[in-house]
Amino acid sequence: MQSELMALMMSGDSGISAFPEEDNILCWKGTITGSKDTVFEGTEYKLSLIFPNEYPFKAPKVKFDTTCFHPNVDMHGNICLDILQDKWSSAYDVRTILLSIQSLLGGNFES
């Protein structure tokens, strides 16, 4: 988890960030910013990321703490995204998760 934190901090991706909560490396708070030219532009969304002990072999539980009106986000902030469910791969990391959620909100990205 420490290496993921360093990789995320060094990535230089705009509009995404995440850090562990206080003493628990398995509980993170993340933020994504709505992408330009979308209805979400300029809005900062807070997320909770809870990593299981089996991570990276099991997907983290990710949900919006900020209200987000989107067809793939329910009223409790739960996100319907295949890579967080049946399409999870241990190749994914925190950066991939945040970029995927940002993309879900209508963003276009260059890698």
Catalytic residue numbers, as ranges: 80
Written as six digits, the tokens of 107 are 């963003």
Residue with tokens 């991939």: 96
Burial of residue 102 (CB within 10 Å: 0-12, 13-18, 19+) is buried
CA angle 9–13–15, rounded 5-degree value: 105
Peptide bond into 20 cis (omega under 30): no
Angle 86-75-90 from CA coordinates, rounded to 5° = 25
- Enter the tokens of residue 80: 């319907």
